Amino acid sequence: MEDFSRLSLAEVARLAAERRLPPVEKWNPTHCGHSAMRIARDGRWWHEESEITRPELVRLFSTILRREPDGRFVLVTPGERLDIDVEDAPFLAVELLSEGAGRDRRLAFRLNTGDLVVAGPEHPLRFADAADSDGPHPYLHVRGGLEALLARPVYYELAELALAEDADPPGLWSGGAFFPFAAA
C-alpha cells in the first residue's frame, strides 16, 4: 500500500476509482444465519471472541459487507448471506489528506481497511450527537449505506481546519459540498 500522506488528491481519487468491489448489491442468496463475527467500535474485526489480526482477511471480508434495507449488516456471497454485528460503523477513517481551502478544498480519507474515499456529494460527512458524553460522532459515507466513523485524531484535524477557515456555521467544504459540523 502506498504512503497515504505522500499522495495527491488526484492520485487518491484515481486509486479509489480503480478499486473494483464484488457486486454484493446484486446478490440475493438465502439467509444462512449468523457469521459469529462482529466489528467493534474501534474498527477491529472479531470472530468468536478472537480478533482477526490479518489485515488481508479484514480487507477481504470488508469487500463482501452489505447493509440491508432493514439496517442489518451482512456478509454476502453468491451462495450465502450471514449476519454480522457492527457496534457503530463498519469502517474507521484513520488518516486525512486535505488540499485547497474554502470552497476549493478536497478531503480524502484512508480507512482501516485500506480503502480511500474522497468526501463530496456522493461521500458526505455527517456529525451525530453522541448518546454518551464522548463528544460528537463524525461519519463519512463509504458506499451502499456503509459508513466510516472518523478516528478521534482525524476528527481533531478536521476541527483545526474548520477553525482556521472560520466558517459560519462551522464546517468544511469538500468536492463542492459544504459539511457543517453541527449534528443533523
Q: Are residues 97 and 162 in the same domain?
A: yes
Q: Is residue 73 part of a domain?
A: yes
Which domain CATH number covers 165?
A: 2.30.270.10
Grid coordinates 479484514 are at which residue? 58
- Containing domain of residue 45, as a range? 19-86
Cα atoms found within 13 Å of the Cα of residue 53, Cβ hemisphere only:
3
Q: Determine the average pLDDT of the residues in 24-52.
A: 94
Q: Would you say residue 11 has pLDDT above 60? A: yes
pLDDT in tens, 131-167: 665 677 899 999 999 999 999 999 999 999 998 988 7
24: closest CA among 56, 54, 52, 62?
62
- Whole-prediction pTM: 0.87
**16-30, 92-106, 153-167: which range is least confident on average?**
16-30
Q: What does the block give as the cell for 99?
A: 488540499
Residue 14 lies in a domain: no
